[in-house]
Amino acid sequence: MRFPARPAQAPPKLPEWDPAWSRIVEAKTPEGPHSFHVLDTLEVLRTNGFEPSGTILALHGNPTWSYLWRHLAQATVDTARSGGRVWRLIAPDQLDMGFSERLAHNSLPTPHGAEVRRMSQRIDDFDAVVTPLLAEVASSAAPQDGVADAASTGRNGAASADTAASAEHPIVTIGHDWGGVLSLGWAARNADRVSASISLNTAVHQPEDAPIPAPLRATLAGPMLPTATVVTDGFLRVTMSLGDLDPEIKDAFRSPYESASRRHGIGGFVADIPVDESHPSYSELQRVGADIAAFDHPALLVWGPKDPVFLERYLRDLRQRLPQADVHRFELGSHLVSEDYDVAGVVTDWLETRFPAGGTGANAPSDATAASEATVAENATAAPARGVTSILDARHDDEAIASVDFAQTPVQQITWRHLWHVTTSIAGGLLELGVRPGDRVSMLVPPGNNLTAALYACLKIGAVAVVADAGLGPKGMTRATSSADPQWIIGELPGLGLARAFNWPGRRISVSPLGSVAAKLFKVETSLTALSRTTHHAQLPTPAATDDAAILFTSGSTGPAKGVRYTHGDISALAAVLTRVFDVREGTGLVAGFPPFALLGPAIGATSVTPDMSVTKPKTLTASAISDAIIAGHSTMVFASPAAYKNVAATASDLDEEQKAACARVELVLSAGAPVPLGLMDSIAEVFPNASIHSPYGMTEGLLLTDIDHAGVRAADATPNLGVCVGRPIDGVELALAPIDDSGSAADVLERGVDAQGHLGEFVVSAAHIKSGYDNLWATTAASARDDLEGRTWHRTNDIGHIDAAGRVWLEGRLQHAVTTPRGPVGPGGLEALIDSDEQVSRSSIVGIGPAGTQSLVAVLDAEGTDLSPGLAPLDLTSRLRELVAEVLGHDLTAVLVAPMFPTDIRHNSKIDRSRLATWTDHVLSGGSVRTKV
């Protein structure tokens, strides 16, 4: 099949494409002149009165073209209009791709064929196009079609002074797919003129012991390559299916490749994938990989983990080559991640923090990095001088009981001396096995003595514990583990089974010894039991307060679970809070039915008792189980979730006299995970008659923020306020409010004290024990941080509500669920608490229907546990609820519906998925069936 040469041409009219971006450029490549279609925003910028002060060089992969960068082009223009740095975007279509020149070919492409454009040639092509275009701005020449001459720089050589990157005019590369590795390679070879580099899903190294991803294996197989890529548009269509694209956008991507004569480049690109050492581009890829590893400028990696081609191992390799890189993962994103998510927004935000308008350039840390570092520094300063394991080390000869584990049969008690000996031995064993400070260790062990031993052994040598709750389910845990990318796994058999079934990363260590067959099946190298026999090392590594200690994953109730980074300083600060606020100190007996706090016992010198219960099912904690744990640990403090306490109260009649007496000795009862209603507090008080009962409010990012006691809940219950009262900030926590505007967005300004009282806003907190950032989520970390004039870093909680005149915090829902009515924003939680007070209502959800700013309030009631039928609520109930809302808030309920069920997080019944309910409500009010799945 012969493929004729064709010159470059401008694209036809396409959605989301500005024709003014298109240029045809003649470039002198080492092989001679060729014509390229280039997306270039220079003309648009100058038409709007802007002169570029920075340049982004973008390179697409296969089978896309510069249309891939249309959102980034628009975002840079919008950034200029809003007063930010003026970025020019240059994005050429590669030869034989997009609307660039089609070369003459006499045959279909094959991996070793002579008519395939090789990696080295493509890097040369890129250099030939962009180098002269960079000089245009330096010489203030107006953009024009013409001949671009790269001779002045030489092949991938250094640029002349007028095109070199500087703080005043940084040059940044970005690429995707195979354009990612090509652009990274060009950037590394031109580090003297490049300020930073960005890449979306790509690959640099194919491990010898790992198979080529299945989709590529199929395409590369014999005659399949030309058939799937050139003769038909199969490869093109499959790629377009890897994103949530509208039909017209898919058509736009396909527009340069309408016939086989225009698809040779697609096949040639696939044929140039170097799968082994015999491939013509193999050695070039190795050189590019080495060059990238030497690139020491700022970098950003944006990743779609659901990509079936560019798998996690390729991201892992890139992070090893670019250890300085910021990373942002869109956990549900696939290959065309920039089509699924606002990657352009992430890129422009990152560029703004790295290269602020009028800033200091490439060496300036990003806001997210700076905020994270500031938080780490604050926590290190505020933390006690002694480390997390210092109390455990100091009690190495103490024969008192340190920990009791009711999950073991028989019940296992260990002394401080034994716990110190075991953790020190395991720490040495881990070092001998190859675990190094900073290595990540996934903990697939339920709370108890085994988890305590594994965790504190890791803390002693500076390894980072990765903890993802089993309540996330296999899929959620797989996402979390892949995101954290641990080098090691320590697990019981159920966890090791999941790791094997879902191919989680990490070398495996079992808790107990396994037989040879089981060890081989689960790929287990050794056990904690074996490591505990290791001779103590004379000197263990000493982690710094600023070093990461743990990655704790959120519940995943409002999207994919996020890994929250805690440093040694953060954990020390949290231990200090417990000691200071709740008088938990050395000698305290602590029954921990709330897993995060079971692990803090050794850090504060408290005797920790893990009761007999399933940690993923809090309702399995009984009154007998908690009283037995109190007796075993001589405990005066109990910590559990509201769901656990509800069952404790329900089973209190089963207690014998000894157990009742043990409960009567408890001095402090804490509950976290959800607010505790007054009725449940009253029931808890009957079980623990002499205890002070507290319900702290917090989250994974800050486990203790506010506190309210039994009397405080009673007083709040009698107060006419909307929402759920969670008390006042605890000692060491500063709380501010970011007011919510009519569009539902939280303002940048922070209000404190009297100024913060009486209106709806997002709660923002600052404290020594707040997280140091989100793991591999650069944009999320940046978005969660706020700074004030005093240089203090604040964390956005995403929780909304108000502060009353007494300084008490009232929660009214999540920021993304705020309803924006014509009368102003409304927090759903406040109205829900009001509606739930009606005797016919079991629980409710408030959702907004309609455009932002003009939304109608709709109350959705749960049919479960009531005599209500799905559909419109009875007229008398509707009338009653509308009158109640109008009287208290002055708002009108447009409708009251009854849903057949409420979607909730599998572990947090209180966390209703309002987004799904809103979709269902809109469907029903538009005439759809009430039986439609919520």
pLDDT tens readout for residues 471-512? 888 999 999 999 999 999 999 999 999 999 999 999 999 999
- 925: pLDDT strictly greater than 60: yes
- 586: pLDDT strictly greater than 90: no
- What pLDDT, on a 0 to 100 scale, did the predictor assign at position 932? 82
Q: Which range is least confidently modeled, 312-321, 385-394, 856-865, 889-898?
A: 385-394
- 731: pLDDT strictly greater than 60: yes
Residue 146 banded pLDDT, cuts 50, 70, 90: very low
Tens of pLDDT, residues 190-249: 999 999 999 999 999 866 666 677 776 667 766 789 899 999 999 999 999 998 899 999
Q: Would you give the DSSP letter of residue 322?
A: -
Residue 598 banded pLDDT, cuts 50, 70, 90: low
What tokens were used for 882? 């509308």
Q: What is the mean pLDDT of residues 428-456?
A: 95
Residue type at position 151: A
Q: What is the pTM of this model?
A: 0.90
Positive or negative torsion for Cα 490, 495, 496, 502: negative
Residue 764 banded pLDDT, cuts 50, 70, 90: very high
HEC secondary structure over 433-485: HCCCCCCEEEEECCCCHHHHHHHHHHHHHCCEEEECCHHHHHHHHHHHHHHHC
Positive or negative torsion for Cα 178, 182, 185, 190: negative
**Measuring CA to CA, which residue among 121, 131, 55 is closest to residue 87?**
55
Q: Which residues are CB-neighbours of 850 under 8 A, at least 6 positions away?
A: 856
Q: What is the mean pLDDT of residues 762-779?
A: 95
Residue 182 CA to residue 284 CA, distance in Å, equals 11
CATH code at 395-561: 3.40.50.12780
Could you tell me which residues are beta bridge partners of residue 461? none
- 387: pLDDT strictly greater than 60: yes
Q: Residue ranges of the domains in the chain?
A: 19-354, 395-561, 818-934
Instruction: Tell me what the pLDDT averaged over the chain comes to.
Output: 89
Residue 454 banded pLDDT, cuts 50, 70, 90: very high
- What pLDDT, on a 0 to 100 scale, did the predictor assign at position 362? 47
Tens of pLDDT, residues 306-334: 999 999 999 999 999 999 999 999 999 99
Do the domains spanning 19-354 and 395-561 agree at the CATH topology level?
A: yes
Residue 39 CA to residue 58 CA, distance in Å, equals 9
What tokens were used for 742? 């009519």
Q: Which range is least confidently modeled, 226-230, 437-441, 611-615, 772-776?
A: 611-615
Query: Parallel, antiparallel, or unpaired: how do β-strands 893-899 and 734-739 relate?
Result: unpaired
Q: What does the buried/exposed string (b/e) look like for 797-823 if buried means 16 or more CB atoms within 10 Å of the residue's CB?
A: bbbbbbbbeeebbbbbbbbebbbbbee
- What pLDDT, on a 0 to 100 scale, did the predictor assign at position 210? 67
Positive or negative torsion for Cα 104, 107, 108, 109: negative
- 374: pLDDT strictly greater than 70: no
What tokens were used for 374? 């500031």
- What pLDDT, on a 0 to 100 scale, did the predictor assign at position 209? 63
- What pLDDT, on a 0 to 100 scale, did the predictor assign at position 674? 81
Q: What is the mean pLDDT of residues 853-878?
A: 93
- 552: pLDDT strictly greater than 50: yes
Residue 339 CA to residue 247 CA, distance in Å, equals 13
Q: Which range is least confidently modeled, 131-140, 536-545, 719-728?
A: 131-140
- What pLDDT, on a 0 to 100 scale, did the predictor assign at position 243? 86
Q: What is the mean pLDDT of residues 646-675?
A: 94
CATH number for domain 818-934, candidates 3.30.360.10, 3.30.300.30, 3.40.50.1370, 3.40.630.30: 3.30.300.30
Are the C-beta atoms of 756 and 762 separated by less than 8 Å?
A: no
Q: What is the mean pLDDT of residues 901-928?
A: 77
Residue given tokens 């009154």 in the structure block: 623
Residue 65 CA to residue 94 CA, distance in Å, equals 8
What tokens were used for 289? 């990989």
Q: What is the mean pLDDT of residues 165-175?
A: 87
- What pLDDT, on a 0 to 100 scale, did the predictor assign at position 906? 42
Are the C-beta atoms of 362 and 196 separated by less than 8 Å?
A: yes
- 163: pLDDT strictly greater than 60: no
Residue 115 banded pLDDT, cuts 50, 70, 90: confident
- Find the length of the chain: 934
Residue 828 CA to residue 801 CA, distance in Å, equals 9
Q: What is the mean pLDDT of residues 785-814?
A: 88
What tokens were used for 578? 């417990």
Residue type at position 459: L
Residue 35 CA to residue 23 CA, distance in Å, equals 10
Count CA within 13 A, CB hemisphere, residue 748: 5
Q: What does the buried/exposed string (b/e) look like for 842-868 if buried means 16 or more CB atoms within 10 Å of the residue's CB?
A: ebbbbbbbbeeeebbbbbbbbbeeeeb
Specify the CATH architecture of the domain 19-354: 3-Layer(aba) Sandwich (3.40)
Residue 113 banded pLDDT, cuts 50, 70, 90: confident
Residue 521 CA to residue 506 CA, distance in Å, equals 15
Q: What is the mean pLDDT of residues 54-74?
A: 98
Residue 630 CA to residue 490 CA, distance in Å, equals 29
- What pLDDT, on a 0 to 100 scale, did the predictor assign at position 144? 46
HEC secondary structure over 781-792: HHHHEEECCCCC
- What pLDDT, on a 0 to 100 scale, did the predictor assign at position 149? 47
Residue 894 CA to residue 878 CA, distance in Å, equals 10
